[in-house]
Structure 1
Amino acid sequence: MQIRAFQLSDYRSVAELLEIALSEECCEETMSALSRQLSWDSELVLVAQREDAIVGVMIGTIDQSKGYVYRIAVHPDNRRQGVGRSLVSAMNVRFRQRNVMKVLIAGDKHNEMLLPFYQSVGEQALDLVKLSRPLSIVAG
């Protein structure tokens, strides 16, 4: 498995993955956030690739010295195989390279149920934070 930055050629595969892995409402919100984040910094959109298939995606952003994990999605057939853990680890590396002092999880209803996962894989304590502004304003 390879973890790498999103490439434009990944768009269709990532969109399909999000439709499969997320609820309809969550998918719509995530597609909007994905588009915004790609316009600012595609290096903080990571994909997990096995052979020729995208099996996971993670969207992060940075606001000053804080890193925000917006969304993680793993294809149902590839869950509990270390895909999510690898994505979190790779994002933490990106955050450290950019001098992020604190990593926060976007505290929407979709991420709240994943908090135990984030805490189990976090190399540092992760806090769930309710964003007072949409992702587009936080990072912009």
Structure 2
Amino acid sequence: MSDLRIRYAVHTDIEPVLRFWQEAAEGTSISDDPDGVARLLARDPESLLLAERDSRLVGTVIAGFDGWRCSAYRLAVHPGCRRQGVATALLEAAERRFEALGGRRVDAMVLEANERAHGAWAAVGYHREDHWRRWVKPL
């Protein structure tokens, strides 16, 4: 895994990240557009972590912290790079960030139907909490 580099996204990464999510991410988000990602980076410049191999984007995770809760979103790994430790490296970097910020627990957004993702999250120590449900209202 020594050839894997984890770094924070910058403004010039926005379009490549959006293209990457179309190929590698399961599902879409209402914020999957240039303005949404730009607002994320403006609000928290270290929240979007990128994994690169040979200068090629192979994975992402959003590691957001609002001062109260640590939240992981948009964990995505290029289909040709799965099961190679990319997701594990991204989540370890996210967790280090959360710990440095004083976070106590990570909440992860994982699509119910994405069973492959369930196994990946479980493999790194996350578990499902069935007594909670996400409630949303688009603005």
TM-score range, shorter chain: 0.7 to 0.9
Who is 1:121 aligned against?
A: 124
For residues 108 and 8 of structure 1, what CA distance do their matches in structure 2 show? 27
Match of 1:51 among 34, 37, 54: 54
TM-score, normalising length: structure 1: 0.78
2:25 is aligned with 1:22: yes
| Structure 1 moving runs of 4+ over 6 Å | none
Q: What's the RMSD between the two structures over aligned residues? A: 2.7
* 3-state SS, counterpart of residue 101 of structure 1: coil
> C-alpha displacement at 1:45, in angstroms?
0.6
Identify which range, 31-40 or 55-64, moves more after superposition. 31-40
Gap regions ≥5 residues in structure 1: none
Which residue is 2:72 aligned to? 69
Tell me the alpha carbon deviations over residues 55-108 of structure 1, each in whole angstroms, 9 at most, x when there is no partner: 111012113332011120111111111111100000000000000011111255
Q: Which is higher, the Rg of structure 1 or of structure 2?
A: 2
Cα 1:111–1:45 change in 2 (3 A) is: farther
Call closer, same or farther: CA 1:35–1:63 in 2, change over 3 Å. same
Q: What TM-score does the superposition give when structure 2 sets the normalisation length?
A: 0.78
Which letter does structure 1 place at the counterpart of 2:42?
S
Whether the 8 Å contact between 1:34 and 1:59 is mirrored in structure 2 is no
Q: Against the structure 1 CA distance between its residues 30 and 111, is the aligned structure 2 distance closer, same or farther, given a 3 Å change threshold?
A: farther
- Name the SS of the counterpart of 2:46 in structure 1: helix
More strand by share: 1
Matches within 5 A, 1:73-88: 73-88=76-91
Please tell me whether the aligned partners of residues 52 and 59 of structure 2 are also in contact (alpha carbons under 8 angstroms): yes
**How far off its partner does 1:111 sit?**
6.3
Residues 65 and 102, structure 1, Cα contact 8 Å, conserved in 2:
no
